[in-house]
Structure 1
């Protein structure tokens, strides 16, 4: 319904030039990787142009955390804003298209053992009303079809291994994401940044100097060099060299609501069709990801060390992949979930793992990087970096982090598995935020949550479509024995008509592997509008 929809729009156009002088002249980004180079590119793309000098320090001594990764649809907007074609960056990063995420085994409710969280498309405006109406009616006890997989085009495309880029003749867009090799993506962004005039210093920071006000003044580099700047961006990962070790910014842990603190990853060969979806499969003490790249599958297991050891997790993942006796190396990672209280503290901005992390589920890491950097560029272009602007910024970024956390926590809280202590503990967890508690209570009371999400009362960070897909997909409805037949005077919406619309629309999308072989340029005059409930 257009009167309740919000519009998300991205245009591949340069920011307008700002005639005023920038409030800062030189920004030093400490740490490379995807977060560092994304931030540097967005800063250099500001309306100040080359008048804002950007330097990236990348330590040769510090490795990059990198496994096969997925993104939300926000990454598409990043490349389009910078004018970087998919035909250029995707082959260089072994990237594939992503229509959404399939969740397998999170629910044991009959008919809800699997569901798909679809990225939105313009055609969803023709099916979303029916889906939400059927969800409300099933919550009210009517036996109508309310599983999300039946209602969205992206689900059909993923099931058929089709790319979510329609042929030119079909004027309806899908707002898709990507899968990619994160190490290769970081290297690609570095090359683009250097091409666009961003200075790259492969140096290791040995000390941080502060001025009499307590702000960061300069960095002491190995070899005796000193780098001074007006503003600093901390992209040093979990080390938090500037935001944590230097400025000692308080940290808010999410560990009481998100139990996972480790992961193990390993690749497998890719043969046959290429999926356009991430698969998240619930295992005994966490969940396993399957991510299709052009040359291999990225696989991993995210788990809690409070419930199993790294060795047990690796064995379970190898068993899942049929690699128990194979000589395939595994990469073990530790992670910390939470966020800093102030992402922008004094003259320092923390981005990426230095600012916080909400585990890999739903692939939100780069979205948070992009939104943090973009919000800072917006503040910078207004020309005011004072205390009020800083407070407004931190409030907005914290709300994004906390809202995203709530959406991730809801996956675990609503699971119905009882096979291990891990899943039982997640279902019994009461350490939920007040907004998430209110949202779940509203749903379980069989009342609509649309109004609360749209008004920002709860469910911030994700649209109605996502929340309804999650809760309906997990089967949070009255038991089948409690359901009654729909009233004769108010029949359900026609599933045949929905199937016909989606099936015929899907004919306009190419095979995924076929499109990856020759990615066409995107018309520059295209204006993308995707309507989210």
Structure 2
């Protein structure tokens, strides 16, 4: 999820040109260093923007450097990216073995009876029919009333995931659901690369051996492995955790988030697809982190995100194999290191970092591609406005800082509110006091039994995620008085008919097809006139 919006289908790349004059544009050639999903998505957004016709875009991709390629989930904002390019789901999804994603199930993060599992739904206009009942019951339970307040019962998206349905309804059902995707990240990068080249982006396969700077400290040109050099007006660093340009060449400081996000390692271990294709990501808490399960058309993506301070790589792999029932199976495992945090500046001199080079917040809520979209969109806007001066750079960097920290806070809230006590890892997360003022505001408001809506809407705390996400998280983790302390509800506290909620959710879900059936017959999306407004 991203910050609350009232209209979903915003194409962040297509913006009207601002301040157009007959003067030569300040940037005529942008070199994107690094391919993969981040590099090719950025190149496409640059090339297809209002500024694009005046711009030469080159993607410089090293044949010697592979891509990480295990980030296989998205937020709903990826829809707008493809819609804006006029690319149908029926074109790109089969090419990337993609499936639909209605949200994320969190399993075993809480030990509180009845709250061992919950679903974080992507918001939709249908939630307006049940959100009030959910929030009212949440606050009644916070006040000590024994009413039902688990989020899964109140949202259509949760029913779709539970029943193996896809999140695109029959044409006769005129209500839109937010949804994201699962995909093969390597195939997605290749698909975007083909699209970019057909839209005029130049692709150059060379390895950078040196970054040469001007006297004023800007990047001048790149020395390549064939002895040639490549000059440009502006550079985009998509070199992953290496941060070849923004970090190594320009010396931009890196700000780690290790004090409150402990995970720094991951293991990926794909397995054959068996059974139904679920329209959800599953995050299961293990002893020193959490395991992901992502269904694709041809396989299931599995992995373990963990803290190397709390267990070794061998211990983590053994735990993941046990979790998957592959303890004695000859299935290869891929080990990865993560650099969690952000660059102090995502825009430094004539370089903007996009993707892992700019920073990374662990993949719990699949926000990596959202940061790519938002950063590339902000760069496009700056180019279209023709303002690349210090003030514009400062606004850009401040906006990125706020987005990183807002996302970090929501992720940290998952760990802070866990109730596991089986390992030092989980106890340390629960005891973590390195919380931002914003996150403290959310948690203090909740514990004082006050509604979150006013503070969220006023921007006092919890920005970056909509109200439904915060309520699903805190209620789903069971942050309520203990069951033995609850009292029978008053008539007012029990005023909502849950059988009516159940009926609405069940009958709404009937309008959505089986997920596998939907994937076999993906209907058109571009030009869809379905209303896409929501209030929460």
TM bucket (normalised to shorter chain) is over 0.9
Q: What are the residue-to-residue correspondences of 1:233-382 with 2, within 5 Å?
A: 233-382=236-385
Displacement after TM superposition at 1:382 (Å): 1.5
Q: What are the residue-to-residue correspondences of 1:68-107 with 2, within 5 Å?
A: 69-107=72-110
- The counterpart of 2:226, out of the listed 223, 227, 238, is 223
Q: Once structures 1 and 2 are overlaid, which stretch shifts more, 497-506 or 289-298?
A: 497-506
- Distance in 1 of aligned mates of 2:73 and 2:493: 42
* Alignment partner, residue 417 of structure 1: 420
- Distance in 1 of aligned mates of 2:535 and 2:310: 38
- The counterpart of 2:174, out of the listed 171, 176, 196, is 171
1:10 aligned counterpart, secondary structure: coil
* Alignment partner, residue 431 of structure 1: 434
Q: Deviations over 1:391-440 (max 9, x none)?
A: 11111111010000000001001000011111111111111112112221
Provide closer, same or farther for how the CA distance between residues 525 and 150 of structure 1 changes in structure 2, counting only shifts above 3 A. Answer: closer
- Distance in 2 of aligned mates of 1:88 and 1:455: 41
Displacement after TM superposition at 1:523 (Å): 4.8
Q: Deviations over 1:244-277 (max 9, x none)?
A: 0011111111001000010111111112211000
Gaps of 5+ in 1: none
Q: Is the 8 A contact 1:286 1:301 kept in 2?
A: yes
- Distance in 2 of aligned mates of 1:474 and 1:410: 10
1:27 equivalent to 2:30? Answer yes
Q: Deviations over 1:341-394 (max 9, x none)?
A: 111111100010100000110111111111111122122212211111111111
Q: Is the 8 A contact 2:175 2:530 kept in 1?
A: no
- Distance in 2 of aligned mates of 1:528 and 1:329: 46
* Alignment partner, residue 7 of structure 1: 6
Q: Is the 8 A contact 1:486 1:492 kept in 2?
A: no
Q: Is the 8 A contact 2:71 2:368 kept in 1?
A: no
Q: Is the 8 A contact 1:61 1:204 kept in 2?
A: yes
Q: Deviations over 1:201-259 (max 9, x none)?
A: 00111111111221111111111111111110000001111100011111111001000
* Alignment partner, residue 460 of structure 1: 463
* Alignment partner, residue 157 of structure 1: 160
2:366 aligned counterpart, secondary structure: coil
* Alignment partner, residue 192 of structure 1: 195
CA RMSD of aligned residues (A): 1.5
* Alignment partner, residue 444 of structure 2: 441
2:72 aligned counterpart, secondary structure: strand
- Distance in 2 of aligned mates of 1:128 and 1:489: 17
Q: Deviations over 1:8-32 (max 9, x none)?
A: 3325695446654533111000000
Provide closer, same or farther for how the CA distance between residues 68 and 24 of structure 1 changes in structure 2, counting only shifts above 3 A. Answer: closer
2:365 aligned counterpart, secondary structure: coil
- Distance in 2 of aligned mates of 1:210 and 1:244: 13
- Distance in 2 of aligned mates of 1:396 and 1:11: 18
- Distance in 1 of aligned mates of 2:247 and 2:371: 19
- Distance in 1 of aligned mates of 2:461 and 2:112: 26
Q: Once structures 1 and 2 are overlaid, which stretch shifts more, 207-216 or 100-109?
A: 207-216
- Distance in 2 of aligned mates of 1:419 and 1:532: 40
2:157 aligned counterpart, secondary structure: helix
2:6 aligned counterpart, secondary structure: strand
Displacement after TM superposition at 1:50 (Å): 2.4
1:69 aligned counterpart, secondary structure: coil
Gaps of 5+ in 2: none
